[in-house]
Structure 1
């Protein structure tokens, strides 16, 4: 280094490359590099013969016992050692005497002449070698105490590092949760937007049809009035005989014409879409349209048993003697809800619990319930299923596999009749599960449930 002192440069020259200490009985190789004699013996004995020996520093080959004792370098090493001893010798700056005494009062090293001087007169002094062990013990105790504090500090640092890791993990989990919740909210709001737009379009279509009918009626009345006007103008401009011909009939027909008051239409838009008033909690927004659903025993398959309040159903696999009815399911253990939907928006919840299999959704009131029953939208079924083998699927044609992040314990079913939308939600987390492609409903819809063995379904009570 350029900043190294001459002493440091000499020490670097006289340092053994192998042991990094000052050269002891230095020996030199033909390449000019020098090492401790003992270091070279150890280096050579580690190399199996007849393997070629190479200089540890420059890799030049050399033969065993070819090195020579370097007396000049040995002398330089002795001089360096003497210089180091002189540098380590501490002297009194005032008297140039050795600092052999220690002043207890001032806590400093002094020489024998300082002890006799006025500055330290009457002070307690002691030989360095006598007082050193005591202070050494004190220093060792201080080191031990500081070491304990250092260990404690490192433990605290490790604890803080653990807290940082745990905190970061918690933050990452919360970030994922927030992203998921907003993803679900985005999906829900997108569906809400489409629902409002579809309803508004239908309202527009209905009102325009009524207004056009009114316009057509007025145009027809206008044509009738023009015909009478032209007839009477022609009489007035013709001869006396033409004017008086059937004049009373003409006047009678003209007087009989009446202009009815036009139908008054309220042009106030019924489909409200005040986004500012929407509660951004998915569960709350869904439950604004919630209805209480009970089970219809007249539709229940014979193997199903309903509770007294008709809110729970389970599959008993015991065929009961029930009245035969066209309303009853006979192909599969299914049951409908009592409620009927012909317009508007509705939402109901189904507690599927720990059940291993279930179907939940809505269906047309007139669906097939016998041996030819097939569950698909084109046949009047809009439902999702948890199967014992293929997991969660939507009963589309063909089935759509559903990848759910967590298992729903309560499933929410949302119906917008006018928009033709049937959507499903995991009410445990408020996340969206699936929405069927837009349909065009033309008949009554009812809640639909397919019950499997050991998987009872429950309809939570609802009160507005």
Structure 2
């Protein structure tokens, strides 16, 4: 280590007499004095001499000089770098000596004098340059671990955001499901609908609060991990003495850092509407509008067989029937005898285990002799069961229906003035489908299409 006197002399040699700082890009002039490049060029640009020609002069000896005499001094530049390195070295506060040793027991830098003092006598010590690589490697390993934790944290943040979006989507789907169940249950069910939606909204708020708290925790942890990583990486760039100062404590603190994972949550809403519990109320409501429906033999297709009480129709062998414009000739269909021109009306159809059928209402004057497309534009409001248990509403285009349970008893509700035709699974008391509002332009009649099955119209007194 250079003595304090030698260091002082080197600093004096390396100090610019103009700015009084260590020289930057030292330059000499022909008189032998040296200055910073920016300082001596400032003299050239603004000469302060007293002669009429105002030639630039050396600030120390007043010897005139010209720009051509400027020369860079590489040796002096190296000396300045050495002085800077000496300035950056940490010295023992007690002995003023260079801290060349690292005490493993106390985890601190010491000088040669400290090693022989009572405080450190018998302790395990090593040269700074010997222990520096090992501790630096350990810190870099921890930095790698912290980066892995941050990557995991970022992944969890993205996953939590997806969970929040999925939760909102599931809430919205459940909201639509509940609203669909309640939409056609009229005024006396409205209070129950609002109660379920209120509970669902509260559940949404509570769960969102939990999810967002988890997200906020991850954001905070990510910021803290990033800060630790930046500080650790910055420390790895320090000199050996600065790096080892307090490194053991820092290693322990960083090793203890662990990511706190957010709690796992279920994204399935607990609030659900079990409409079957409202079955009695639904039947009670519909009962007030129930009508007795029988089948009209004048409209029946020749492949269908009608019972004597005109409530049961089934497929059979073709039968001879007189031709009539009132009779269906293309499709195996039959109409009900009843006609609805106003008011509310409800009837039930026992579809049993039939594999293909269609039922609903149609305008009384629909085409029966030729092909027809059963849709509202043609005067039909009906639902259909196709093969393989595929249900659809005969809208234009058809609407696929997803039913939780196979209906055996289907209820048809007509509100003429409101322009609504609704269908219910009366086994579970659940709503199946309601057609968009229509403006009926004539009399409506019950409509049935029978393909490879049989349908039965229970009398009102036998349906409860």
Q: TM-score range by the shorter chain?
A: 0.3 to 0.5
Larger-Rg structure: 1
TM-score normalized by the length of structure 2? 0.40
Q: TM-score, normalised by structure 1?
A: 0.40
